[in-house]
Each structure stands twice: as C-alpha cells, then as structure tokens.
C-alpha cells in the first residue's frame, strides 16, 4: 500500500476494495474490558487474499482475526470472537495485559 493509504480510515479502504470487486470482511472491536490495546469501534478490513488495513488489537490477535475473517469471506457467516486473559489461548494470541476484547467479523456485500 502507498503511504496515502496508511492514513486512510479502514472503512474508506473497505469501500475502495469492495468497489474494485474484492471480497472483503470487516472486523470491529465491539467491547473491551480492562486493559485493551484498541478501543471499541476500531476496525480491521481484510480481503480474500489476506491483505489487511487497520487494527483491532495488534500482535497475534490480529493474525487470529485475519484467519477468522478469511473463513467468514469464504463461508459468509459472521462471527463474534473473544480474546482475553481468562481464555486459555490468551497468552498464545497476545492479550497477556489482563484485558479482554470482543471482535465482530462480517463479510461486506
């Protein structure tokens, strides 16, 4: 991506990608508890090739969200994901800070 795209809102990128005929999913932070790297309302847009723009958390959490988003693009059914320190996978996906986040992933038409 060009430097110009680095400053654009992920919603703008999602619209551009969808208008260009790319399959697109949007991940949105819908809730946070405790210490969370990104606030509710943060977005990550993902296309069918695994390209992405924006952020919902950082680190391994984003990798897990991208993987889920590719499945959503393929299958079309939205998913609610939760990552947190109470989850046995929390350390593996990078939320060792004690926070929890819920991320809604949906395919865009």
Residue 76 or residue 30, greater confidence: 30
Please report the pLDDT score of residue 35 as a whole number: 77
Please report the pLDDT score of residue 81 as a whole number: 96
Please report the pLDDT score of residue 76 as a whole number: 82
Is the pLDDT at 103 greater than 60, yes or no?
Answer: yes
> Would strands 100-108 and 24-33 be described as parallel, antiparallel, or unpaired?
antiparallel
d(CA 55, CA 10): 9
Mean pLDDT, the chain, whole residue set: 85
Specify the length of the chain in residues: 109
**38-90 pLDDT per residue, tens:** 899 999 999 999 999 999 987 778 999 999 999 999 998 999 999 875 555 54
Mean pLDDT throughout 15-32?
Answer: 96
Is the pLDDT at 5 greater than 60, yes or no?
Answer: no
Please report the pLDDT score of residue 3 as a whole number: 43
**Quick check: 84 and 33 in contact, CB under 8 A?**
yes
* pTM: predicted TM-score of the whole model, two decimal places: 0.83
């Amino acid at each position: 991506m060009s430097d110009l795209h680095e400053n654009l809102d992920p919603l703008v990128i999602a619209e551009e990608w969808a208008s260009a005929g790319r399959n697109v999913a949007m991940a949105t932070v819908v809730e946070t508890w405790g210490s969370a790297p990104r606030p509710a309302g943060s977005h990550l847009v993902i296309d069918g090739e695994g390209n992405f723009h924006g952020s919902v958390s950082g680190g391994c959490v984003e990798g897990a969200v991208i993987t889920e988003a590719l499945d959503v693009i393929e299958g079309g059914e939205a998913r609610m994901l939760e990552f947190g320190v109470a989850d046995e996978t929390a350390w593996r996906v990078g939320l060792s800070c004690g926070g929890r986040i819920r991320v809604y992933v949906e395919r865009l038409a």
